A and B are shown apart, each in its own frame.
Chain A
Amino acid sequence: MQIRNTCLVYRLFTFVIICSFFIPFSQSFADSGPQGASDPSLTLNPDKQFDYAQELFSAKDYLTAVNEYKRFIYFFPKDERVELAMFQIGQSYFLGRQFDEAVKSFKKLTDRNFETEYSIKSYFKISEIYIALKAFDLALINLNNLIMITKDENIRDEAYYRIGWIYIETASWDNARHYFEKISTKNRNKFRLERLADELDKETLIPQKDPKLAGFLSIIPGGGYLYCERYQDALIAFLLNGGLILAAYESFDKGHGALGGLITFVGFGFYAGNIYGAVTSAHKFNRKETGQFIDKLKKNTRVNLSADLENKSVCLSFRFSF
């Protein structure tokens, strides 16, 4: 009896040991079964999805952020942050230096709604992109469209102000003045227009060189460069052209026609180059002086308009360099 019992215990023990070998396999089979697959499901939460996109945006992983914002819009089209997500898509493309895509994204917002906070900001962003790309005409058209559709005087004034600055960038002083004058009386102080007008009037004092006169003075080699205050270039042009003209004259005079022709050919290039260079120098001089004036104007009088995403108001800052 005792032997039988011992044998039973031994068999039971062996059975338990063998079963224990199969426990891990049985668990893995259980996980892979149809019941196990349904348990670890992922539930998309609008807050988490939006926060994840924002986190990618903050980490400057702009192109991945775009995908996450798109996912947010796709799964939660009725969420109140959809417009913000659309705006952030445009911002991400802009900061990722994909300007065409940025413009397209902002335009989706402006086409979708007329006068919401983010559609207005999108209009301004589109104009900023065009200005950065030096496509001033497109920036002007975009801001004029905004002026046409908006009924808010503050927004219209800001658009006028921005248009005025685009004309300043292109040195169209009268057009700039015209648009600054359109700003309503109540916003004139906000944009510091009185000081801006005073500074803008100084554009008549920008030193300018006449390109035609520079070209004419170059009949005497170096004269045009001298007029454009390029003294070393003037000396080189005078000596080089004088030497070549003299050499060509001497060659022809002494009967060396072929040599004279060759020197004349070379001399012609340098003589015409002297005229061309003087004209270009005058243009460069004007460009540089005008650029410096605009930079000074921006530094001293421009009110920085930045879109504040949290508040609906526009953030203003102003500085003056003495």
Chain B
Amino acid sequence: MKKILSFIVFFIVLAALSGSVLAGQDVKIDDHQQFSDEAEENLENVSLYPIKFYQDYISSVDGNRCPMHPTCSQYCIEAFKKHGTFLGWIMCSDRLMRCGRDENKLSDPIWIDGKKRTYDPVSNNDFWQQ
């Protein structure tokens, strides 16, 4: 029972954290900032390794089958770079869920290498910056 409770508490805390970010609350930057910009950049680079690995060794063999533009992996890289690791991870998960279904009907089409794709860049999804 304790395990279930700990899991539920953990999940609620995570959901609350994500909710506060989504609500667009200002994050105060402390004078004694824990991470420097360089450290943050390194963290982002590390989090991009799995995506780069996927692009270099899996997608290159498997072929580009993503019906969106930019592709989901490229979108994730851009999201991580633009919004950091935490929000990048959320946006990446969101995009993987939306890929190739209702978005095809709603977003504008774009022709890439003679193939029709759905145009859905990061800038279409960071609504608080519009």
Q: Give residues in A with beta carbon < 8 Å to B.
A: 211, 215, 225, 230-233, 236-237, 240, 245, 248-249, 252-253, 255, 260, 264, 267-277, 279-280, 283-285, 288
| In the complex, number of A-B residue pairs with CB atoms less than 8 Å apart | 94
Residue contact A277 to B127, C-beta cutoff 8 Å? no
Which secondary structure characterizes the binding site on chain B? helix
B101 is an interface residue with CB less than 8 A from chain A: yes
A272 is contacted by which of B4, B10, B18, B98 (Cβ under 8 Å)?
B18
Please, how many angstroms separate the alpha-carbon atoms of A11 and B22 in the complex?
A: 111
B90 is an interface residue with CB less than 8 A from chain A: yes
Residue contact A273 to B7, C-beta cutoff 8 Å? no
B106 is an interface residue with CB less than 8 A from chain A: yes
Residue contact A275 to B19, C-beta cutoff 8 Å? yes
List A contacts of B7 (CB < 8 A). 248-249, 252, 260, 264
Rank and list the top 8 A-B pairs by shortest CB-CB distance, nearest first. Answer: A273-B93, A273-B94, A272-B18, A269-B93, A230-B102, A277-B94, A232-B101, A283-B127
Residue contact A271 to B15, C-beta cutoff 8 Å? yes
Bits for B68-101, please: 1 = Cβ < 8 Å to A, else 0: 0000000000000000000001111111111001
Q: Please give the number of chain B residues whose Cβ is less than 8 angstroms from any Cβ of chain A in the complex.
A: 30
List A contacts of B107 (CB < 8 A). 284
Given A232-B102, A270-B97, answer yes or no on A264-B10 (Cβ-Cβ < 8 Å).
yes
Can you list 18 contacts pairing A with B, beta carbon distance less than 8 Å?
Answer: A233-B98, A245-B11, A248-B7, A264-B11, A267-B11, A270-B93, A271-B15, A271-B18, A273-B92, A275-B15, A276-B90, A276-B91, A277-B98, A279-B22, A279-B127, A283-B127, A284-B127, A288-B106
Residue contact A284 to B91, C-beta cutoff 8 Å? no
Please, how many angstroms separate the alpha-carbon atoms of A160 and B3 in the complex?
A: 67
Residue contact B89 to A269, C-beta cutoff 8 Å? yes
Please, how many angstroms separate the alpha-carbon atoms of A31 and B92 in the complex?
A: 78
List A contacts of B14 (CB < 8 A). 264, 268, 271-272
